[in-house]
């Protein structure tokens, strides 16, 4: 018998269990985003990739990193258990960051390292999210709040690493920055071993038993095979493109099959999940600009000095501008959480679909700001405050779209397929990230050695204008779909009751 499903637990006990997942997720994000903050600069400045190849490699890596959770979620649900899969994933990630520190003089190792990190993320990400869902099961309003605070807390880790890694890179070299990412994962793993028993009340039986030796060996061999396969794929953008299209078709077929095989009371919920997942997928095209075009824009056309009036405050390295995203999320998340509580008490209609719609209006504003700033620039180097304004609205849009993507699954998908659907969500996100990298190449100079600051400014102006128009189109699409989603939500709630 699954004790968690039959015995009510005090809110204090839920929070203690939640803190276990929260802390290891915080350190996992510390490692991942610290690496991401300098990755495109590492490939271009250290490994001498051109813009186009660097963007495509980062896009392929991101696609694999987000696609791997499809398999990782299924493995956690059916074979290993969610907690064990989360732990294995964190250990693999730590190994990846340590190896990356050794890859600074060998291009071949970079592909292997990225494959290891993608595999570790595939096991970690969906299973950590599933554990949060298990802890706060059967409480929709609490789920929204939990995932919002979860999103805020893990951004603390990414903020610190995004500020530290570029500084370490500047003063002590690339290896020092990547070793910091490794240390973060080790701290998270150590804390897990100290506190993991708090999760026991919320785990299914298979997560609390020792796996047979032949299953353990099979999992180990499967991980090795997966790493080698991704290493091969990362070296060919054409192969990645074929795999992305194949995976998209495969996921769509499975979604259709599951829709007709699932209990009819869940079908309206699946419709909502499918639509909002596809809409959230479009957000990641804009999100991918942070680690590609926006970072290179910061390096080439943003004045690194922050001024308040005539007073110089400090300078930032190009990679540090990415930290504006988690900083904004940390500041905004508590206000949004309180807003959700207020709307719940007042019974106002601020559904997830409405949040997505409002979120995309802020994404329109973000890229509108960057495009307009480039258009009206009097010099090739813009004020660093332009990045703050744009990142503020882009981050607010993220909280209202991507930040609630997992809550959509937790609310509308039955527990039996939660891991797989979480993996599907990351798969669609990975496809968008790859597309986002391709779009970032609209601003890739044909020859960076001859491109002037004025040339790159015009390239980024054109890119931001195209993204601005794209965001407007997505907003209109959401506006058209909104009444249908509202109707399906009412049917879903009526069927469940």
What is the pTM (predicted TM-score) of this model?
0.83
Task: Please list the alpha-helical segments (H only) found in 208-314.
Answer: 213-234, 237-261, 267-287, 293-301
Report which of 370, 358, 364, 356 is spatially closest to residue 321, judged by C-alpha positions. Answer: 370
Domain assignments of the chain as residue spans, ordered by start: 12-496
- Please name which of 138, 42, 50 lies closest in space to residue 97, comparing C-alpha atoms: 42
Tens place of pLDDT for every residue, the chain, 497 residues? 444 444 445 566 777 787 788 888 888 889 999 999 999 999 998 988 899 999 999 999 998 888 888 788 888 878 888 888 899 999 999 999 999 888 777 777 899 999 999 999 989 988 887 787 777 776 655 666 666 667 676 778 889 999 999 999 999 999 999 999 999 999 999 988 888 787 776 676 666 677 788 888 888 898 999 999 999 888 887 888 888 788 788 888 888 888 888 877 778 888 888 888 888 788 899 999 999 999 999 999 999 998 888 888 889 999 999 999 989 988 887 888 788 777 777 766 677 778 888 889 999 999 999 999 999 988 899 999 999 999 999 999 988 887 667 677 777 887 777 767 776 777 788 888 999 999 999 998 888 777 788 899 999 999 999 999 999 998 998 888 888 887 887 777 777 66
Residues 184/23, Cβ–Cβ less than 8 Å:
no
d(CA 121, CA 67): 9
Domain made up of 12-496: CATH architecture: Up-down Bundle (1.20)
CA–CA separation, 277 vs 283, rounded Å?
10
Cβ partners under 8 Å of residue 286, min gap 6: 363, 366, 367, 394, 397, 436, 467, 470, 471
DSSP labels, 41-74: HIIIIIS---HHHHHHHHHHHHHHHHHHHHHHHH
Burial-class residue 367 by CB neighbours within 10 Å (0-12, 13-18, 19+).
buried
Residue in 81, 91, 39 with CA at minimum distance from that of residue 62: 39
The pLDDT of residue 1? 40
pLDDT for 371:
97
Q: What is the pLDDT of residue 3?
A: 43
Q: What pLDDT is attached to residue 2?
A: 45
């Amino acid at each position: 018998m699954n004790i968690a499903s039959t015995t009510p637990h005090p809110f204090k006990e839920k929070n203690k269990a939640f803190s276990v997942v929260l802390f290891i997720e915080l350190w996992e994000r510390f490692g991942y985003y610290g690496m991401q903050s300098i990755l495109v600069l590492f490939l271009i400045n250290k490994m001498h990739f051109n813009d186009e190849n660097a963007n495509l490699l980062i896009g392929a890596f991101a696609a694999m990193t987000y696609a791997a959770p499809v398999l990782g979620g299924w493995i956690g649900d059916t074979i290993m258990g969610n907690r064990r899969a989360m732990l294995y994933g964190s250990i693999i990630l730590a190994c990846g960051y340590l190896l990356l520190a050794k890859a600074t003089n060998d291009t071949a190792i970079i592909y292997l390292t990225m494959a290891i990190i993608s595999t570790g993320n595939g096991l970690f990400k969906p299973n950590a999210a599933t554990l949060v869902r298990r802890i706060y099961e059967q409480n929709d309003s609490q789920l929204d709040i939990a995932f919002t605070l979860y999103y805020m807390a893990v951004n603390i880790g990414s903020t610190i690493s995004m500020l530290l890694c570029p500084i370490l890179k500047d003063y002590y070299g690339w290896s020092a920055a990547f070793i910091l990412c490794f240390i973060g994962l080790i701290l998270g793993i150590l804390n897990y071993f100290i506190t993991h028993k708090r999760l026991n009340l919320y785990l299914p039986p298979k997560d609390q038993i020792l796996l047979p030796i032949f299953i353990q060996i099979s999992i180990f061999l499967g991980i090795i095979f997966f790493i080698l396969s991704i290493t091969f794929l990362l070296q060919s953008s054409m192969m990645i493109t074929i795999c992305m299209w194949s995976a998209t078709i495969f996921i769509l077929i499975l979604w259709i099959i599951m829709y007709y095989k699932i209990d009819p009371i869940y079908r309206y919920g699946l419709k909502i999940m499918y639509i909002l997942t596809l809409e959230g997928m479009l957000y990641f095209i804009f999100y991918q600009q942070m680690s590609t075009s926006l970072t290179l824009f910061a390096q080439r056309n943003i004045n690194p000095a922050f001024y308040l009036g005539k007073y110089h405050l400090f300078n930032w390295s190009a990679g540090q501008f990415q930290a504006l995203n988690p900083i904004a999320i940390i500041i905004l998340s508590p206000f949004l959480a309180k807003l959700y509580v207020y709307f719940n008490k007042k019974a106002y209609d601020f559904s997830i679909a409405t949040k997505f719609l409002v979120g995309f209006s802020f994404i329109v504003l973000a890229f509108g700001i960057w495009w307009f700033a480039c258009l009206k620039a009097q010099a090739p180097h813009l004020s660093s405050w332009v990045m703050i304004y744009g990142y503020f609205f882009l981050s607010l849009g993220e909280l209202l779209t991507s930040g609630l993507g997992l809550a959509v699954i937790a609310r509308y998908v039955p527990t039996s397929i939660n891991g797989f659907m979480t993996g599907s969500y990351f798969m669609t996100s990975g496809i968008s990230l790859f597309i986002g990298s391709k779009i970032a190449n609209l601003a890739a100079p044909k020859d960076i050695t001859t491109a002037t600051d004025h040339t790159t400014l015009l390239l980024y102006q054109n890119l931001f204008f195209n993204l601005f128009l794209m965001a407007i189109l997505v907003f209109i699409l959401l506006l058209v779909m909104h009444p249908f989603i509202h109707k399906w939500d009412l049917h879903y709630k009526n069927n469940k009751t």
